[in-house]
Amino acid sequence: MSPALRRHPRFISLEGGEGAGKTTALNAIRAALQAQGHEVVLTREPGGTPLAERIRALVLTPDAEIAAEPLSAEAELLLVFAARAQHVRQVIEPALRRGCYVLSDRFTDSSYAYQGGGRGLEPAWIAELERRAVGLLPGLTLLLDVDVAVGRARANGRDLWPDRIESEQDDFFQRVRAVFRERATQDPTRFRLIDASQDQAGVAAQVVDAINAYLTKEGGNG
């Protein structure tokens, strides 16, 4: 039998499709936590440690710039989990043990959405990797939900070259969004759905309300 997943109340993740506005939301959440006197470790996936950031570059750099071969969906899944296994052990678990709140820009839900929904890999395989290589679930996950076309228009407006995943077509991102929404519906205790179609101030207000309600419920001490 494989190990169970442990939910940690001081571990918070932020999820969403491309251009959902995670950067503004992360800053608003961090400020809300700090205003209540909590120490916050802000991190991201794929990445968060020097080694995991190198794996991130492998996953996101367009294929032709890395090697003359495409990265397979299976290799992509294993790479994001390799980065996550490292991230959990080097950064997340130690910070939680020190009593900090850990705020992660994406976590395992992104693997279900992108590698499961987007690439069509078996969710059961992802779940097995999650139990064996990660073992940890956020206590709270804020899902920034926005229409795919709106999110992509925002992301494209940044004047950056699209990375490997951003270069996918709209139907890929529709499947990503569908899996995120389905997971939020299946686990309403952990997820809060945020309407990310609003302007940045409106999104920030929603995430701050969600965080404050969560802290009140948790007694503010995890």
Q: Which residues bind ligand T5A (CB under 6 A)?
A: 16, 18-24, 45-46, 60, 80, 105-106, 110-111, 114-115, 154-155, 157-158, 165-166, 198-200, 203
Smaller CB distance to ligand T5A: residue 31 or 98? 31
Residue 163 CB neighbour total at 10 angstroms: 15
Smaller CB distance to ligand T5A: residue 64 or 201? 201
Instruction: Report the distance separating Cα 59 and Cα 82, nearest Å.
Output: 11
Smaller CB distance to ligand T5A: residue 2 or 23? 23
Spell out a b/e string for 60-93, using b for 16 or more CB atoms within 10 Å of the CB, else e: eeeeeeeeeeebeeeebbebbbbbbbbbbeebbb
CB of 60 vs ligand T5A, minimal distance in Å: 6
CB of 162 vs ligand T5A, minimal distance in Å: 9
Residue 108 class from Cβ within 10 Å (0-12 exposed, 13-18 middle, 19+ buried)?
buried
CB of 89 vs ligand T5A, minimal distance in Å: 16
Contact present, 22 and 158 (Cβ < 8 Å): no
Smaller CB distance to ligand T5A: residue 96 or 113? 113
Smaller CB distance to ligand T5A: residue 80 or 100? 80
Rounded to 5°, the CA angle 3-6-10 comes to 160
CB of 9 vs ligand T5A, minimal distance in Å: 21
Smaller CB distance to ligand T5A: residue 196 or 215? 196
> 68: which residues sit within 8 A by CB, 6+ positions away?
none
CB of 6 vs ligand T5A, minimal distance in Å: 19
| Exposure of 192 in the CB half-sphere (CA atoms within 13 A) | 20
How distant is the alpha carbon of residue 204 from its chain centre? 17
CB of 217 vs ligand T5A, minimal distance in Å: 26
